[in-house]
Amino acid sequence: MKRTALVCLFFISFINISLSQKSFIGVAKYKMKVEGATNNNTDSMKVVFGKDKIMTIFYLPAAENSDKPKESIYIDDFASNTTTEINKETMTYSVTPLNKKEEYQFMKTNKFNAVQNNICITYLVDSTKMDREKYKKIYCLASVDYSYYEKNNYFFYGVQPIIIDNRIVFDYTIEQKDGQKPKVFLYDIKKMDDVESYFSLWGYKLK
């Protein structure tokens, strides 16, 4: 029954994509955790998809003298091939060349899964091209409905897959030999008409 439902979702998604070949513009929210770890800490991440650029915001544990989570903010601009790192505390920013590295080569499979009721295609890393002493399996689930045509593949800082085959990644999981399983998974996504305000550097100074 579950397989039948997934197949139905896939064909509905295929029809939707065929009708509209526009890149997703909006905000996706993710949680980050390590299953099997001794602590149950969960961090979060927000990804803003704009035209020719993507902003990634990491919300990390607050400092000892603060109750607000620390934010690490980056803008990857594909038109200028640059990364802008923003410091909200000092109201400054720095610009460096965009890291175009792709940590892993993901292979498309015939397996489908769902994340937050969104049908996804499973992509696997070739086991011969990863550290088999440390990892059992590395895979991601890329959405059928949510696409980003500005980049075929995009890895944040060359490591974390955000776009695979023009599809937005909804789940990225690493199964380690020690039983732990670091993963990043989507919990909310929202389409928006305009996200340019997220990328504004008004009030910030270049370091």
Question: Per residue in 13-25, pLDDT tens?
Answer: 544 544 457 899 9
How far is the C-alpha of 69 from the C-alpha of 132, rounded, in Å? 35
pLDDT of residue 61: 76
Check whether 9 has a pLDDT greater than 50. yes
Write the DSSP assignment of 22-74 as a string of letters: PPP-EEEEEEEEEET-SS--EEEEEEEEETTEEEEEEEEPPPTT-SSPEEEEE
Determine how β-strand 26-35 pairs with β-strand 118-125. unpaired
Weakest mean pLDDT among 13-17, 36-40, 90-94: 13-17
Check whether 38 has a pLDDT greater than 60. yes
Kindly report, residue by residue over 49-86, the tens digit of the pLDDT: 999 999 999 998 776 676 777 899 999 999 999 999 99
pLDDT of residue 40: 79
What CATH code is carried by the domain that includes residue 154?
2.50.20.10
Q: H-helix or E-strand containing 149?
A: none
Kindly report, residue by residue over 162-194, the tens digit of the pLDDT: 999 999 999 999 999 999 999 999 999 999 999
| Beta-carbon contacts of residue 87 (< 8 Å; ≥ 6 apart) | 73, 93
Sign of torsion over alpha carbons 195, 198, 201, 202: positive
Hey, what are 78's tokens? 């594909």
Check whether 8 has a pLDDT greater than 60. no
Check whether 37 has a pLDDT greater than 70. yes
CA nearest 13: which of 126, 118, 84?
Answer: 118
Q: Determine whether 184 is exposed, middle or buried from the number of CB atoms within 10 Å of its CB (0-12, 13-18, 19+).
A: buried
Q: Whole-model pTM?
A: 0.87
Average pLDDT over residues 29-57: 94
Average pLDDT over residues 34-56: 93
Weakest mean pLDDT among 75-89, 124-138, 191-205: 124-138
Total of domains in the chain: 1
pLDDT of residue 5: 53
For residue 70, the enclosing domain spans 2-206
Please count the other Cβ atoms lying within 10 Å of the Cβ belonging to residue 47.
20
**Backbone dihedral angles phi then psi of residue 184, each to the nearest 5 degrees:** -125, 125
Check whether 111 has a pLDDT greater than 60. yes
Check whether 32 has a pLDDT greater than 60. yes
| Beta-carbon contacts of residue 142 (< 8 Å; ≥ 6 apart) | 120, 121, 123, 164, 165, 167, 168, 169, 170
Average pLDDT over residues 25-53: 94
Check whether 109 has a pLDDT greater than 80. yes
pLDDT of residue 7: 52
Q: Determine whether 132 is exposed, middle or buried from the number of CB atoms within 10 Å of its CB (0-12, 13-18, 19+).
A: exposed
